[in-house]
Amino acid sequence: MDKICPNCGQRTTGNYCANCGQETHLHKDTFWGLVSHFVGDYFHYDSKFWQTIKALLFDPGKLTLAYWNQQRMRYLKPVPLYIFISAVFFIISVNTPTSWLKANFNSKNEPQDTTALHSKSFNAKLDNSDFNKYLSAKIERLTSKHEDVNEFIVEKIQHYVPKIYFFMIPAMALLLKLIFRKRKDLYFADHAIFALHYHAFWFVLFTIGQPAYPETIKMNLYLLLYIIAFVYMAAALRNVYKISVFKATLNTFTIAVFYLVLLALVFIATLLLIFSFI
């Protein structure tokens, strides 16, 4: 017997609407019914989340292959996964006093509330080139408006960093498209899925480096994390694109070089953008 779906209004048969997927046999919920629905939905999502994280961390390329093969109910979708993990990373990074931004822009030997000394510390790092004179002039203007120039610049950069990394996802996808241009069965979006999953792994990995470790431990830890990131990408490329270990390693090195150069250029462009509004 045909029924009218209470959710979308389409005529349907069976226990589920063929148009929107909602159950057609719904009864008024009791309090315990609401509780059981909540518990069921929570543990279903929780199970899928941890299953996704496990595959992301310990099985390079598995999530990408599952998505390509349309096995999309087993794991979290790539975009929500990336947004969640990157948000956690940036929240921790912003609230960590030893983040690389603060370490580079704040001098441990300077009083943090002295405008003149901040201006002097910046100017001391600048040469006499036209570009550095331009930056010096901008810094002088900043010191007249903000008591702590370093903190102002750090906050501005932290505002743009999530956008920078989101921009780097299609950049990596384009690079993958060029490297694997002979694969006519793969589209730009397929490479973007790989880039999303790799960036999600990268953020999980480098969240480990955010706490306040002693300087020597932090340096060695970051070196180890970069090695792991390199090996992970090589393994993911080998598993996803079905190439040899040698080609996977070579392609990883190529991607790393171009990625880091482009990332540096984007950071410089961001700094210039920040200073242009001063």
Binned at pLDDT 50, 70 and 90, residue 18 comes out as: confident
Whether residues 239 and 210 fall in one domain? yes
- Averaging pLDDT over each range in 11-20, 124-133, 258-267, which range is the top one? 258-267
Average pLDDT, the chain: 79
Give the mean pLDDT of 25-53: 65
**86 against 44, higher pLDDT:** 86
Whether residues 228 and 272 fall in one domain? yes
Domains contained in the chain, number:
2
Give the lowest-confidence range in 58-62, 148-152, 177-181.
148-152
65, 56 Cβ separation under 8 angstroms: no
Tell whether 214 is covered by a domain: yes
- Note the pLDDT of residue 33: 60
d(CA 173, CA 155): 29
Last residue of a domain, one of 14, 35, 51: 51
d(CA 119, CA 139): 7
Checking if the pLDDT of 113 tops 50, the result is no
Binned at pLDDT 50, 70 and 90, residue 150 comes out as: low
117, 111 Cβ separation under 8 angstroms: yes
Whether residues 20 and 69 fall in one domain? no
Whether residues 222 and 244 fall in one domain? yes
CA-atom Rg of the chain in angstroms: 25
Tell whether 105 is covered by a domain: yes
- Note the pLDDT of residue 126: 46
Give the mean pLDDT of 22-38: 62
Tell whether 119 is covered by a domain: no
Whether residues 153 and 47 fall in one domain? no
Whether residues 29 and 65 fall in one domain? no
How far does Cα 266 stand from its chain's mean position? Answer: 15
Tell whether 129 is covered by a domain: no
Whether residues 104 and 241 fall in one domain? yes
Whether residues 226 and 94 fall in one domain? yes
Range of the domain at 14: 3-51
Whether residues 39 and 63 fall in one domain? no
Structure tokens at 99: 């983040």
Residue/partner pairs of 75-80 with CB below 8 Å, 24 or more apart: 75/48, 75/51, 76/48, 76/49, 76/52, 78/193, 78/196, 78/197, 78/200, 79/196
**148 against 211, higher pLDDT:** 211
Tell whether 131 is covered by a domain: no
Whether residues 69 and 96 fall in one domain? yes
Tell whether 139 is covered by a domain: no
Checking if the pLDDT of 98 tops 60, the result is no
Tell whether 124 is covered by a domain: no
Tell whether 143 is covered by a domain: no
Whether residues 263 and 170 fall in one domain? yes
Checking if the pLDDT of 238 tops 70, the result is yes
85, 165 Cβ separation under 8 angstroms: no
Whether residues 160 and 204 fall in one domain? yes
- Note the pLDDT of residue 217: 81
Give the lowest-confidence range in 105-109, 167-171, 241-245.
105-109
Structure tokens at 46: 């929780």
